[in-house]
Amino acid sequence: MPENPVYNSIIERRTIRKFLQKPVPKKTLSKLINAARLAPSGGNRQPLDYMVIDDAALCVELFKYVRWAGYITPKGIPKSGEMPTAYIIVLEDKPVKSTTVAYDVGAAVQNIMLAAWEEGIGCCWQGAIDRDKIRELFRIPMDFVIDSVISLGYKAEAPVVEEYKGSIKYWLDEAGVIHVPKLKMEEVLRWNKF
């Protein structure tokens, strides 16, 4: 059977919260934005913009305004030497007036995360962010809604999937490995009728 790299990335991809302190090349970051730009968009309205942050000092500042790993805080918060080396701020251009922004964001961010994974880059998609502070820090005009932030960097951890056993909460084992419960196929798949 031929290898399917897209499917493999979908199966293997996990949220990453610990990063090697190796910069992500601008060429790679541009490739991720290109993957987002080409995602499906309702009515082809294309209401999204992306702000890439890769300056080390700005990454440190932005880190203050994103929240990490609600189920395993504070252990899930990256420590010094584990922090993201880049971010992508996902922006909605309000004047475009799209009614499908949430879908567009989902498709674009998934494209970013899959393209990143294939490059050896891990991502953490974060919506628990201080939008007012981020707007102020980067002087983002009011015509743009700050949807979310994607934290990026080369992977310094390897979370694992485990079978759902009554709780959706991801957890850390004694070795510091994150376990992510996922529902079984037979719990989510319906053939021809419910």
- Does position 2 have pLDDT exceeding 80, yes or no? no
Task: Report which DSSP code applies to 2.
Answer: -
Amino acid sitting at position 6 = V
* Average pLDDT rounded to a whole number, residues 3-24: 94
- Does position 128 have pLDDT exceeding 90, yes or no? yes
**Which pLDDT belongs to residue 4?**
87
**Which pLDDT belongs to residue 5?**
86
pLDDT in tens, 95-120: 999 999 999 999 999 999 999 999 99
Domain range list for the chain: 5-158, 161-194
pLDDT in tens, 38-93: 999 999 999 999 999 999 999 999 999 999 999 999 999 999 999 999 999 999 99
**Which pLDDT belongs to residue 158?**
95
Q: Are 124 and 148 in contact (CB under 8 A)?
A: no
pLDDT in tens, 132-178: 999 999 999 999 999 999 999 999 999 999 999 999 999 999 999 99
Closest CA to 50 of 101, 17, 90, 77: 90
- Residue 51, Ramachandran bin (φ over 0: left; ψ between -120 and 50: alpha; else beta): beta
Q: In whole numbers, what is the pLDDT of the chain averaged over residues?
A: 95
**Which pLDDT belongs to residue 53?**
98
Longest dimension (CA), the chain: 54
**Which pLDDT belongs to residue 3?**
80
- Look-up: residue for tokens 């998934």? 110
Closest CA to 38 of 125, 110, 139, 116: 110
Q: Domain 5-158: what homologous superfamily?
A: NADH Oxidase (3.40.109.10)
* Average pLDDT rounded to a whole number, residues 21-27: 98
**Which pLDDT belongs to residue 136?**
98
CA 112 – CA 109 distance, rounded (Å): 5
